[in-house]
Chains A and B, each alone.
Chain A
Amino acid sequence: MSSSFLNVQGLRKSFGGHLIVLDDINFQMEAGERVVVIGPSGSGKSTLLRCVMGLEKIDRGRIELEGVRYIEANPKSRKDNFVDIPVRNKVGMVFQHYTLFPHLTVLGNLILAPMRARGESRSVATERAMQLLARLGLESKAGAFPGMLSGGQKQRVAIARALLLDPKIMLFDEVTSALDPELVTEVEGVMLELAEQKMSMMIVTHDMWFAKRIATRVIFSAEGRIIEDAPPSKMFTNPSEPRTADFLKKVLHVETIS
Chain B
Amino acid sequence: MNITAALGFLWDYRLALSIGLGNTLYFTALGLAFGLTLGFLVSVVRQAGHPVLRVIATTYVEIFRGTPVLIQLFWFFFCLPAILGMELGNVFSTVLTLSLYMGAISSESFRAALKSIGAEQRDACVALGLPARVSVPYVILPQTVLRAVPTLLSNCVTLFKESALVSAVGMADLMYQGQMIADSTARPIEILTATALIYFVIAFSVTRIVSFYERGYLARMRL
B-contacting residues of A (Cβ < 8 Å)? 50, 53-55, 85, 88-89, 91-93, 95, 97, 99-103, 112-113, 116-118, 145-148, 161-162, 165
Please give me the 6 A-B residue pairs with the lowest Cβ-Cβ distance, nearest first. Answer: A147-B222, A89-B129, A99-B124, A93-B127, A116-B134, A113-B128
B12 at the interface (CB under 8 A from A): no
A-contacting residues of B (Cβ < 8 Å)? 120-121, 123-124, 126-131, 134, 138-139, 142-143, 146, 220-223
A162 touches which of B126, B128, B134 (Cβ 8 Å)? B128
CB pair B120 A97 closer than 8 Å: yes
A85-B129, A113-B130, A161-B128 provided; 13 other pairs, C-beta below 8 A?
A: A53-B126, A54-B126, A88-B129, A99-B120, A112-B139, A113-B128, A113-B129, A117-B129, A117-B134, A146-B221, A147-B220, A147-B221, A162-B128
In the bound complex, CA of A102 to CA of B117 (Å): 11
For residue A54, which residue of chain B has the nearest CB? B126
- Taking CB atoms, residues of chain A closer than 8 Å to B129 are 85, 88-89, 113, 117-118, 165
- Taking CB atoms, residues of chain A closer than 8 Å to B134 are 112-113, 116-117
In the bound complex, CA of A147 to CA of B221 (Å): 5
Chain A's nearest CB lies how many Å from the CB of B150?
Answer: 15
A95 touches which of B124, B143, B220 (Cβ 8 Å)? B124
A103 touches which of B124, B126, B143 (Cβ 8 Å)? B143
CB pair A101 B139 closer than 8 Å: yes
Chain A's nearest CB lies how many Å from the CB of B93?
Answer: 39
Chain B's nearest CB lies how many Å from the CB of A167?
Answer: 10
In the bound complex, CA of A92 to CA of B130 (Å): 12
With A54-B126, A101-B139, A103-B146 as known contacts, state yes or no: A117 contacts B131, CB within 8 Å: yes
- Taking CB atoms, residues of chain A closer than 8 Å to B127 are 53, 55, 91-93, 95, 162
In the bound complex, CA of A112 to CA of B221 (Å): 18
In the bound complex, CA of A228 to CA of B97 (Å): 67
- Taking CB atoms, residues of chain A closer than 8 Å to B221 are 102-103, 145-147
B128 touches which of A50, A97, A165 (Cβ 8 Å)? A165
CB pair B220 A99 closer than 8 Å: no
CB pair B220 A101 closer than 8 Å: no
A112 touches which of B120, B121, B130, B146 (Cβ 8 Å)? B130
For residue A147, which residue of chain B has the nearest CB? B222
Question: Can you list 16 contacts pairing A with B, beta carbon distance less than 8 Å?
Answer: A55-B123, A91-B127, A92-B127, A99-B123, A99-B124, A101-B139, A103-B142, A103-B223, A112-B139, A113-B128, A116-B130, A116-B134, A117-B129, A118-B129, A146-B221, A147-B220
In the bound complex, CA of A102 to CA of B134 (Å): 16
In the bound complex, CA of A148 to CA of B220 (Å): 7
* Most-contacted residue by chain A among B143, B146, B221 (CB, 10 A): B221
In the bound complex, CA of A147 to CA of B219 (Å): 8
In the bound complex, CA of A101 to CA of B121 (Å): 7
In the bound complex, CA of A112 to CA of B127 (Å): 13
For residue A53, which residue of chain B has the nearest CB? B127
- Taking CB atoms, residues of chain A closer than 8 Å to B139 are 101, 112
Chain B's nearest CB lies how many Å from the CB of A109?
Answer: 9
CB pair B222 A117 closer than 8 Å: no
With A113-B129, A116-B130 as known contacts, state yes or no: A102 contacts B123, CB within 8 Å: no
Chain B's nearest CB lies how many Å from the CB of A229?
Answer: 25
In the bound complex, CA of A53 to CA of B125 (Å): 11
In the bound complex, CA of A215 to CA of B66 (Å): 61
For residue B121, which residue of chain A has the nearest CB? A99
Chain B's nearest CB lies how many Å from the CB of A137?
Answer: 23
Chain B's nearest CB lies how many Å from the CB of A63?
Answer: 15
In the bound complex, CA of A100 to CA of B126 (Å): 13
CB pair B222 A102 closer than 8 Å: yes
